[in-house]
Amino acid sequence: MNLIDVKNLLFKYKMYSGEKEEVIEHTAIDNISLSIKKGDFVGILGHNGSGKSTLAKQLAALLKPSSGVIYVGGMDTAKEEQILDIRKTAGLVFQNPDNQLIGNIVEEDVAFGPENMGIPAEEIEMRITKALASTGMTAYREASPGALSGGQKQRIAIARSLAMNPDVMLFDEPTSALDPEMVGEVLELMKELAKSGMTMVVVTHEMGFAREVATRVLFIDDGKIQEQNAPKEFFENPQNPRLKEFLSKVL
């Protein structure tokens, strides 16, 4: 069974236009189909505004399809009664480390998800210890998130997601908002996660990283998957003209 199955996903943002005095629609995802298996590392590339974040939010069930269907761990993201179970299955780490941490101390942030799931205290304790150890943040358990560097905050955001024991982790440009010297530690941690067998879907502008770690790379443009391939093929022998142009700019 696939961990994630996306079939003919279409998504339109609806916005009220004061000028036109009507609701206008904007198609951000235009008929995407996609399957992700256990152990896959899918890198997602594309220009700004191409629909990458919208897709990540769809996979995390933060947005519902306008049409089409998404199964995460076999569960339909459009079904409200399964949202909690979907949250246990797929966790999303966002771009900005500052908007994700809300606790007074690190431990509270890492415990937040499991507590909401009603997990017993002893088990939560074990999960916090494990998540902090695997992100190299054990020493910061009692620290205030506000006192951490951007890279450390992002590692805690990852620990927070790990504490849910997810089957798949989703990342939306997890290093784009970091100072350059912090990027490496977060990418290194993500590599370790991938090596440990975690299934990962990563929207990124880090081409070297995508090429090295991904099992498959997708190029999204205009809300569509324009090309997908193994990294070597993807980077060395792109077919789609827009991908060629994109790569010529970023490489």
The site for Mg ion (CB under 5 A) is made up of 52-53
Name the β-bridge partners of 72. 4, 75
3-state secondary structure of 221: strand
Q: From CA 206, how far away is CA 199, in angstroms rounded?
A: 18
Task: Pick one of ligand ADP, Mg ion, none as the site partner of residue 50 (Cβ within 5 to 8 A by kind).
Answer: ligand ADP
Task: Pick one of ligand ADP, Mg ion, none as the site partner of residue 51 (Cβ within 5 to 8 A by kind).
Answer: ligand ADP
DSSP per residue, 91-126:
EEE-S-GGGT--SSSHHHHHHHHHHHTT--HHHHHH
Give the dihedral sign, CA 155/157/162/163: positive
Q: Which of 4, 9, 28, 61 binds ligand ADP (CB under 6 A)?
A: 28
Does residue 50 touch ligand ADP according to CB under 6 A? yes
Neighbours of 241 (CB within 10 A): 9
Q: Please give the residue whose beta carbon sits closest to Mg ion in the complex.
A: 53
Q: From CA 143, how far away is CA 43, in angstroms rounded?
A: 32
Min dist. Cβ of residue 235 to ligand ADP (A)? 19
Does residue 16 touch ligand ADP according to CB under 6 A? no
Min dist. Cβ of residue 143 to ligand ADP (A)? 31
Choice between 51 and 238, CB closer to ligand ADP:
51
**Binding footprint of ligand ADP on the chain (CB under 6 A):** 13, 15, 26, 28, 46, 48-54
